[in-house]
Chain A
Amino acid sequence: MIELLLHIWNTILATLQDLLPIVLIIFGFQLFVLRKAIPHLKRILIGLLYVLVGLALFLVGLEQALFPLGKIMAEQLTDPAFIMGGLARTADVLQWYDYGWVYIFAAAIGFSTTIAEPSLIAVAIKARQVSAGAITVWGLRIAVAIGVAIGISLGSFRIVTGIPIQYFIITGYVFVLIQTWFAPKSIVPLAFDSGGVTTSTVTVPLVAALGLGLANTVPGRNMMIDGFGLIAFASLFPMMTVMGYAQIGEWRYKRAQRKYAEEDAKRENNE
């Protein structure tokens, strides 16, 4: 118990170190350049304290509960012994389709950690405010989480097969560019932002463990060249799913409008 409290205290200090430069820059500019008193100073200070304590508890909790178990699971699922054990045939060489549980795990862990990602919650709250509710907090979060799930799963497939990462990333970019032409213009900046916010506190450690575990156990993979790069996959696909989310929304809106127009016309004809 004392050990845990000490750990929390140390994490608070580390988080403070992270927060301090930001606070100094902002308060420095506010006082010396803008020369304005900060409105609601007391409320803001209490809020910053909440952020500090909240992040520290969040990190300690993750280290205590989620990360050790998640990392062990990633190691066990990528272990050739486990994969061989699940096969109906006996094989000396594993094929890419033997890693089924790995792809499913990659997608599930990508989806669920993204839902818990605090910076994504922040962007989703802001997006709802700015769009006056047209984008919902859960809608955006689920769209991004589906993107991360696809990304991590495909990234694992890439490590297993050893196809160079550039092929996937550059094809992905081309797809994003094409989709940008067709997506509603107001979603584009938010979709691009979603790529950057997905990979933060919760997702990165688990995904890195999965990538390194795979690169370590799949024969012929280099940990340095193949172990990295999953995060890039996790940033790419949310752009597509968020634009897709807006496209579906637009399509449903248009369809509803068409339906109303048709009903109106029918009513007018009857009269």
Chain B
Amino acid sequence: MNQVIGKLFSILLGSFRDLLPIILVVAFFQLAVLQQPIPQLGSILIGTLLVVLGLAFFIQGLEMALFPIGETIAYAFADKGSSVWLLIFAFSLGFGTTVAEPALIAVADEAARVAAVNGIVGNSDEAMASYAFGLRMTVAFSVGLAIIIGVIRIIRGWPIQYLIIGGYLLVVAMTAIAPKEIIGIAYDSGGVTTSTVTVPLVTALGVGLASSIRGRNPMIDGFGLIALASLTPMIFVMAYGVIVH
């Protein structure tokens, strides 16, 4: 029993340490720079406690569930030896985790409003909803495609930098022809696609695949899926802008 409490305490302490920099930054700027008292101190203390507890639970769950799931499924696919099913799975995972992502829904709605203000789509709710829906589908599709490309890369052992360099060149080329209003949103859409649940799963999947395929090095071949998943949305969102605008 003492051991359990000891472990719990050390996990909570770890989470508190993760949070400490934010607390210090906020306190310093509020008290020393803006020279104002901290409003609703009680509510803030309760909130901080919740964050610490939440982070501790999440990290436990990470090691118990998300990492093992990603690894188990990678080993199972490597065992089965069917790359077609593996690629279908890769696409479903990328598409499925992105399409319902709240951050993406928020960005898509925001982009629809920008488009309506600039007269690119009609000002009706219908036109805006259809624009936002199209954008979401575009991003979800591009993430699915990214995971497919990433998995093929792991199987074949291609060096990641060539894919990334090629992708950057496409981003630069698209930037030149894309409408100005979509560029900021396109660049940001690369960052919002990778949620807190997806990242550990996809990372464990990549590392698991690279460890179970002979001749692959998990360090060199296992990472890189997230990088591709943040790159393709930029290209596809700008393409969407070119087509729709």
Contacts and interface: CB of A to CB of B under 8 A. Distances in A.
Contacts of B36: 76
B29 A116 contact: no
Given A108-B29, A131-B219, A165-B187, A51 B168 contact: no
A218 to B, nearest CB: 15
Interface stretch (A91-99, A224-232, A257-265): A224-232
A193 B197 contact: no
B244 interface: no
B121 to A, nearest CB: 14
A247 interface: no
The dominant DSSP class at the A interface is: helix
Contact of A34 (B22, B56, B77): B77
A80 to B, nearest CB: 15
A115 B18 CA distance: 6
A231 B192 contact: yes
Contacts of A225: 180-181, 184
A234 B218 CA distance: 26
Given A50-B57, A54-B61, A196 B50 contact: no
Contact of A22 (B28, B56, B72, B93): B93
The dominant DSSP class at the B interface is: helix
A134 to B, nearest CB: 9
Interface string B32-50: 0110101100011111111
Interface residues of A, number: 101
Interface in B5-38: 18-19, 21-22, 24-26, 28-30, 33-34, 36, 38
Given A73-B34, A82-B34, A193-B203, A66 B26 contact: yes
A132 B137 CA distance: 39
A9 interface: no
Interface string A48-75: 1111111111111111111001100100
A193 B228 CA distance: 8
Contacts of A209: none
Interface of A: 4, 8, 14, 17-19, 21-22, 24-26, 29-30, 33-34, 36, 38-40, 43-66, 69-70, 73, 76-77, 82, 101, 105, 108-109, 111-113, 115-116, 118-119, 121-123, 125-127, 130-131, 165-166, 169-170, 173, 177, 180, 185-186, 188-190, 192-193, 195-202, 204, 224-229, 231-232, 234-235
4 closest cross-chain pairs (CB), A and B: A65-B47, A47-B65, A47-B64, A54-B57
